Amino acid sequence: MREPSMLRLAQELEWLGCELEFYGHRHALAGFPKAGPIKDDFLKKKRGVKVTVDKIERELKASVRFNPSRLVGIEYPMNSTLESVAELLAALEDIKLSADEAVEELPPKVRNFTRMVDNYLDAERVSVP
């Protein structure tokens, strides 16, 4: 996993997820209008979350394809590495579902995802001599 890229994407997702929750709240306070600037802002933020989730998923899958043992700082056993990747992908899927159905749940989920990525990267830093 390329450290700066993955951490940057996780932080971007955290920011966008919190923004989406804020705009979702504004949209709710406005009575869920079917059109207009409030709805447009909400949809723009939702697209931003989904695009960023897609970028992270592509990066994870590409890392698995090319060098899974270095993906999350776990050299052996391979099962641990793949479980870590599966955890990250499951968290992304949960974030994606919340972006569609429950934006009020996004802030803690995106913050937790950033912590997960940071923990995996810390493990990589420690395991590299």
pLDDT digits (tens, 9 = 90+) for 66-103: 555 555 554 555 676 677 888 999 999 999 999 999 99
Q: Quick one: pLDDT band at residue 1, thresholds 50, 70, 90? A: very low
Please identify, in words, the CATH class of the domain defined by 3-127: mainly alpha
**Spatial distance between the Cα atoms of 33 and 79, rounded to a whole number of angstroms:** 48
Backbone angles phi, psi at 44, to 5 degrees: -65, -45
Domain boundaries, the chain: 3-127
Which of 53, 50, 49 is closest to 90 using CA atoms?
A: 53
Angle in degrees, CA 122, 128, 129, rounded to 5: 130
**DSSP single-letter state for residue 33:** -
pLDDT at 47 over 90: yes
